[in-house]
């Protein structure tokens, strides 16, 4: 996109970068005090070749609790960030490793190119750090501040001068330091931004407690006034593979935390392979008088987050209780 400014001999072409992220991670850093990274190095490359391949024996990320994180380059090497990770984030063993962050070193991107009428150009360069965070045990991508890609931008470079000196061809912004990267990851380590579905079944052949990470949460996206929560892991052969919940945002929502008392509600969970496992389903449509099982739920809205709780049982009498934490809600 070409920009025009009243600078006499200077015209500016803006090159704000967009598109697919490519490139390599940073240089090596001492990691003698870290026992786990060697077992994690393949995960960053596996995501390129075979997504959702995790590390056997690693931990599962949890919501509202401390998670430990290994930080590597985006090609699985030690990086300039690896040794900067706070001691409290570092896992003591493989089973203690819930999160792996694959993060690039400072990567330059052309921010603007300034062209001078007397000849020559000056490129303004801004630094960027990008990467992804994965659950170690499953390789599942974890959203960072609601986005699939971590992106940290450095300060803008100095402006182009009115008159270009012959030796001047490049102006750089400051490189990004670790504290700026850490600030984007802290909520994941603290479990404050990790969506989670936890389910307990009482009775029946699949009684037990299960979990799924990163539910998709929306209000009014598919139908006006309707909550929809969904999580799917079609790689799961045993355990919870599919979770689905939908309910009208009806007149029962009188406060931020309240019980839905007058609406259509449907909850479904699948134990075992998706579409082939055992389904446990509750459907309550009070306004129409139709029910299949029974249940009730509450929602707690705090800023951009939402927490849901459900208790009930299906038509066969299996008790169903689940909790969902949504770090963000898509609204229309």
In angstroms and rounded to an integer, the radius of gyration of the C-alpha atoms of the chain is: 25
Q: Would the pLDDT of 23 be above 50? A: no
User: End of a domain among 129, 155, 189?
Assistant: 189
Its sign, for the CA torsion 33, 38, 40, 45, is positive
The CA distance from 43 to 50, in Å, is 10
From residue 161, alpha-carbon distances to 4, 139, 168 in Å are: 15, 48, 10
- My answer on whether 212 and 256 are in the same domain is yes
Q: In this model, does residue 47 exceed pLDDT 90?
A: no
Average pLDDT over residues 243-258: 47
Q: Are residues 124 and 273 in the same domain?
A: no
Confidence (pLDDT) at 13 = 34
User: For the chain, what percent of residues have pLDDT higher than 70?
Assistant: 76
Residue given tokens 């934490």 in the structure block: 325
Q: Both 176 and 32 in a single domain?
A: yes
Direct distance between the N- and C-terminal alpha carbons of the chain, in angstroms, rounded to an integer = 31
pLDDT value of position 34:
46
Split into its structural domains, the chain has a count of 2
Most confident of 83-92, 165-174, 207-216, 292-301: 165-174
Q: Quick one: 217 and 237 in the same domain?
A: yes
pLDDT at 256 over 60: no
pLDDT category of residue 8 using cuts at 50, 70 and 90: very low
Quote the pLDDT of residue 52: 54
What pLDDT shows up at residue 89?
Answer: 92
What's the mean pLDDT when you consider all of the chain? 76
Band of residue 131 on the pLDDT scale cut at 50, 70, 90: very high
Least-confidence region, from 160-164, 190-194, 240-244: 240-244
Beta strands in 178-225 (DSSP E): 196-202, 208-213, 216-219
What's the confidence (pLDDT) of residue 51?
Answer: 54
Q: Is the pLDDT of residue 170 over 90?
A: yes
Q: Is the pLDDT of residue 285 over 60?
A: yes
Full-prediction pTM beyond 0.75?
Answer: no
Tell whether the model's pLDDT for residue 24 goes beyond 80: no
* pLDDT number for residue 53: 67
**Can you give the pLDDT at residue 257?**
26
Considering the domain architecture, whether residues 23 and 164 belong to the same structural domain is answered as: yes
Spell out the residues 6+ positions from residue 241 whose beta carbon is closer than 8 angstroms to its own.
212, 232, 233, 234, 235, 270, 271, 272, 273, 274, 277
pLDDT of residue 46: 67
Per-residue pLDDT band for 296 (boundaries 50, 70, 90) equals confident
pLDDT at 286: 57
Write down which residue in 189, 220, 249 finishes a domain: 189
Q: How confident is the model at residue 244 (pLDDT cuts 50, 70, 90)?
A: confident
In this structure, the answer to whether residues 325 and 271 fall within a common structural domain is yes
DSSP assignments along 231-263, one per residue: EE-TT-SSSEEEEEEEEE--TT--SSEEE--SS
Q: Which of 125, 157, 189 is the last residue in one of the domains? A: 189
Q: Could you tell me which of 127, 130, 175, 136 has the C-alpha nearest to residue 150?
A: 130
Mean pLDDT of 150-162: 95
pLDDT value of position 40: 75
Q: What's the pLDDT tens digit per position in 63-72?
A: 657 899 999 9
| pLDDT of res. 123 | 97
292 has a pLDDT exceeding 60: yes
Q: What is the pLDDT of residue 289?
A: 55
Q: Are residues 133 and 201 in the same domain?
A: no
Q: How far apart are CA 241 and CA 237, in angstroms?
A: 8
Write down the pLDDT at residue 203. 92
Average pLDDT, integer, range 82-110: 91
Do 189 and 69 touch, CB atoms closer than 8 A? yes
Examine the domain organization and report whether 25 and 137 are in the same domain. yes
Question: Residue 146's domain spans which residues?
Answer: 2-189
Give me the half-sphere count of Cα atoms (radius 13 Å) on the Cβ side of residue 144: 23
Q: What is the pLDDT of residue 156?
A: 96
């Amino acid at each position: 996109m070409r920009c025009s400014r009243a600078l006499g001999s200077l015209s500016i072409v803006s090159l704000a970068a967009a598109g697919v992220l490519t490139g390599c991670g940073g240089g090596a850093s001492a990691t003698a005090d870290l026992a786990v990274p060697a077992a994690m190095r393949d995960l960053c490359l596996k995501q390129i070749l075979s997504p959702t391949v995790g590390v056997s024996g690693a931990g599962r990320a949890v919501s509202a609790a401390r998670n430990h994180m290994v930080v590597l380059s985006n090609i699985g090497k030690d990086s300039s960030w690896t040794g900067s990770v706070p001691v409290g984030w570092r896992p003591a063993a493989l089973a203690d490793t819930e999160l792996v962050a694959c993060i690039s070193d400072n990567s330059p991107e052309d921010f603007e190119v300034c062209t001078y009428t007397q000849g020559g150009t000056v490129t303004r360069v801004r630094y960027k750090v990008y990467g992804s965070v994965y659950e170690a045990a499953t390789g599942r991508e974890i959203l960072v501040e609601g986005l699939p890609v971590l992106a940290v931008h450095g300060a803008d470079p100095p402006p182009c001068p009115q008159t270009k000196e012959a030796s001047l061809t490049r102006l750089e912004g400051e490189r990004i330091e670790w504290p700026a990267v850490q600030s984007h990851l802290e909520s994941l380590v603290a479990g404050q931004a990790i969506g989670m579905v936890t389910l307990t079944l009482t009775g029946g052949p699949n009684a037990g407690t299960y979990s799924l990470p990163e539910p998709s949460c929306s209000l009014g996206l598919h139908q006006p006034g309707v909550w929809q929560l969904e999580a799917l892991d079609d790689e799961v052969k045993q355990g919870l593979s599919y979770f689905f919940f939908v309910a009208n945002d009806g007149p029962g929502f009188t406060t931020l935390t309240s019980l839905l008392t007058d609406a259509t509600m449907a909850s479904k969970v699948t134990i075992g392979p998706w579409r082939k496992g055992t389904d446990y389903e509750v459907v309550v449509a009070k306004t129409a008088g139709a029910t299949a099982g029974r249940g009730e739920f509450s929602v707690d809205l705090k800023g951009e987050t939402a927490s849901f709780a459900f208790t009930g049982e299906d038509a066969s009498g299996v008790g169903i209780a689940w909790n969902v934490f949504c770090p963000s809600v898509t609204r229309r």
